[in-house]
Structure 1
Amino acid sequence: MQLIWYGHSCFLIKTSTGKRILMDPFEDSIGYNNDFPKCDLITISHNHFDHSYLNKANEKTKVINELGFFDMNYLTIEGFSSFHDKSNGAKRGLNIIYVLKINNVTICHLGDLGHIPTPLLLENLKNIDILLVPIGGHFTLNGFDATTTCNLISPKYIIPMHYKNNITTLYLDDPKSFIISMKNIKKLNSNTIDYNSLHYSTKCQVLLLTPPYT
């Protein structure tokens, strides 16, 4: 299984059988290239322009943008309710956390989570292999709250997303506060990982991917 970071909160997952799952695709106005390939499935955590854009190649692709359990034969996916802020959604609305199970690998995409998960929510976020977590603050978890969230979920691998770099035009924090709060940081000179090539040794291994097109 391969995971490709397109930037911001958007990831493309390629399964061993060639299926493509695109998560939280964005408009190109935020600075990244959004020339996404034709996919088999798209998940959308919430209906904001930087998380819900369908390009021409995917105008007819199946979209999951709701809560519940879905069995697609080549994967299962479950959406859990959360909030885009610390005020129960009063400021920015709802957010859907998706947990995907593909080829015995469990991936959790936190979307634009804006609060530390409640104990009830954490019950649904167990045994995660790869956690995709926003760390840029202002609209989502900041670096320190993201650290707390990662420690509570305790996945094998953590990939930070939704933060400031030299590409995006959005008002976000850089990853510094998250990096200094976490241990086991591994910087990769790529925006792509092959899960089968990873060597698991300890919980909460942070994989800091290189933003694409730099």
Structure 2
Amino acid sequence: MRRFLTALAAAAALTTAPAFAQGTGKVEVLWLGQATFKITSPTGKVIVIDPWLKTNPKTPAAFKDLKALGKVDVVLVTHAHFDHVADAAELAKLNDTKLYMPPGLGGTMASLGLIEADRAPGMNKSGVVSPIGPDIKLHMVRAEHSSEFRWQDLATGKTQILPGGEPVGWIVELENGLKIYHTGDTGLFGDMRMIGEVYKPDLVLLPIGGNFTINANLGALAVREYIKPKYALPMHYGTFPILAGKPEDFAKGMEGSGVRVVVPQPGEQITF
């Protein structure tokens, strides 16, 4: 069953899919732990963001085999840390599709032979691409984090710290007008207000774990005061003890905002 936390109650069931002004059709959002999402558009196009599945302790066993995702049409990455990029190259090659990631990270991965250069086309913040059809737009936006790429040299056994570009977020704009904002691992920054005003996302996916990212209280502030979506889904918490943020604290911080907080379990799909 889908689970939701709202400002009016600790949990409430949504019995019908949300309606959006433009177009018709359903959008499926599957959370697979940490910051990994599979988004299926109304016409069946599949977008995977920040794939870390094979060694992710929160990913259900059924999805640790990348083939279990089915056909993937495009892969997006927000930054170079292992828990966001670990399975990205393999997934893109498995599906013979493109991998979009921060500028600089693609060059590093290509130089190491992890991915072909033409499979990782370049773009930068404020860029927009439509690689899987003109009605699906992928906007790259700012995030406030770090993005070093750790690589173990198999010949020496030593770990190298290599350029990973700057961290980013993604606005996924779908055929029916629904806009999903995946913030990546971000801290609080003022331009979240600008992103909210310019892109007007309906659903925001944001970390609440704290320590490495925004925490539950600051995440609620960002959503309530800056982004102002219809729905918010907390992520990147509870995977390790240090990611101590709790969704109930995030929901409490949203009281009175009118934003509905969606709290699935890893492997649970939400339909919009």
**Gaps (5+ residues) in structure 1?**
86-91, 185-201
> 2 CA distance for matches of 1:65 and 1:54?
10
Aligned equivalent of 1:143, options 211, 216, 226: 216
TM value normalised by structure 1: 0.77
Identity of aligned residues (%): 28
Root-mean-square deviation (CA, aligned residues, Å) is 2.3
Looking at CA atoms only, which structure, 1 or 2, has the larger radius of gyration?
2
Post-superposition CA distance 1:142-192 (Å, at most 9, x none): 11110111111110000110001xxx34631141432332227xxxxxxxx
Cα shift readout 1:118-151 (whole Å, capped 9, x = no counterpart): 1x45223332111001000011001111011111
More helix by share: 2
* 1:136-175 matches, cutoff 5 A: 136-151=209-224, 152-164=226-238, 168-169=239-240, 171-175=242-246
1:22 pairs with 48, 52, 73, which one?
48
TM-score, with normalisation over the residues of structure 2? 0.62
Instruction: Decide which moves more: 135-144 or 202-211.
Output: 202-211
Q: Does residue 1:125 correspond to 2:196, yes or no?
A: yes
* Among 260, 263, 267, the residue aligned to 1:205: 260
Which position in structure 2 is the counterpart of 1:83?
Answer: 144
Number of residue-to-residue matches in the alignment: 185
Secondary structure (helix, strand or coil) at the match of 1:30 reads coil
Q: 2:84 aligns with which of 41, 51, 59?
A: 51
Work out the CA distance in 2 between the residues paired with 1:63 and 1:24.
10
Q: Which amino acid aligns with 1:45?
A: T
Map 1:179-198 to 2 at 5 A.
179-183=251-255
| 1:71 maps onto 2:130 in alignment | yes
Does the alignment pair 1:62 with 2:135?
no
Residue of structure 2 equivalent to 1:193: none
Counterparts of 1:145 and 1:9, CA distance in 2: 18
Greater share of residues in strand: 1
Query: Are the counterparts in 1 of residues 140 and 169 from structure 2 also a CA contact under 8 Å?
Result: yes
Counterpart-to-counterpart distance in 1, 2:208 and 2:165: 18
Task: Tell me which of the two structures has the higher relative contact order, counting C-alpha pairs closer than 8 angstroms and 6 or more residues apart.
Answer: 2
Return the alpha-carbon distance in structure 2 between the equivalents of residues 97 and 122 of structure 1: 14
